[in-house]
Amino acid sequence: MSAEKMYLTWEDVTGMVAGLLKKIKPDDYDAILAVSRGGMIPACLISEAANLRNILVAAVMFYTDVQETLTDPVFLQFPEDVLLYGKRILIVDDVWDSGKTAVAVRERVLRAGGRPTLCLLHFKPGHNMFPGQKPDLYARETNAWIVYPWDPKQGWTETSR
């Protein structure tokens, strides 16, 4: 994994979301599936702008820190099949690094009978463990470690006290 870090601002994120919104037709989706924690804020921004109110959450743990990952994603929470069956689901997350989390979430939606579309802020082709696969929609490509503005390591926790 690259040791290079890319620090993003809120303006960077809202700009990427605006670009994704140009590719999203709200009537094509029945629900958003936000992948926590990284996908929560992008999912909320997309939901507000596209007026998609049905938001589901998949609590998935994979990264523990920079260059520290689990072998496989752990699902702490996932919507019941009845909420996904026959539905067009816009899966929103922050980054496809190895692709393990995104592919695992997509596969669970497919097994439940849903029709998933993967939408991410960043795609890391140099780290992708799934040749020939990538997100359906993404804003930017990079191979850097991305530090989003909502990351407490950016220092916002100290200034908010």
Domains of the chain: 5-150 (3.40.50.2020)
Which pLDDT score is estimated for 2? 47
Average pLDDT for residues 6-29, to the nearest whole number? Answer: 97
Which pLDDT score is estimated for 74? 83
pLDDT digits (tens, 9 = 90+) for 95-143: 999 899 999 999 999 999 999 999 999 999 999 999 999 999 999 999 9
Tell me which of 26-40, 60-74, 76-90 is least confident: 60-74
Q: What is the largest CA-CA distance in the chain?
A: 46
Residues 6+ apart with CB under 8 A from 138: 20, 96, 119, 120, 121, 122, 123
Beta strands in the chain (DSSP E): 5-7, 31-36, 55-65, 68-77, 88-96, 115-123, 137-141, 145-147
**Counting every residue, how long is the chain?**
161
pLDDT digits (tens, 9 = 90+) for 27-66: 999 999 999 989 999 999 999 999 999 999 999 887 655 5
Which pLDDT score is estimated for 156? 55
Average pLDDT for residues 63-73, to the nearest whole number? Answer: 60
Long-range CB contacts for residues 1-4, cutoff 8 Å, separation at least 24: 1/66, 1/67, 1/97, 1/127, 1/145, 2/126, 2/143, 2/144, 2/145, 3/145, 4/143, 4/144, 4/145
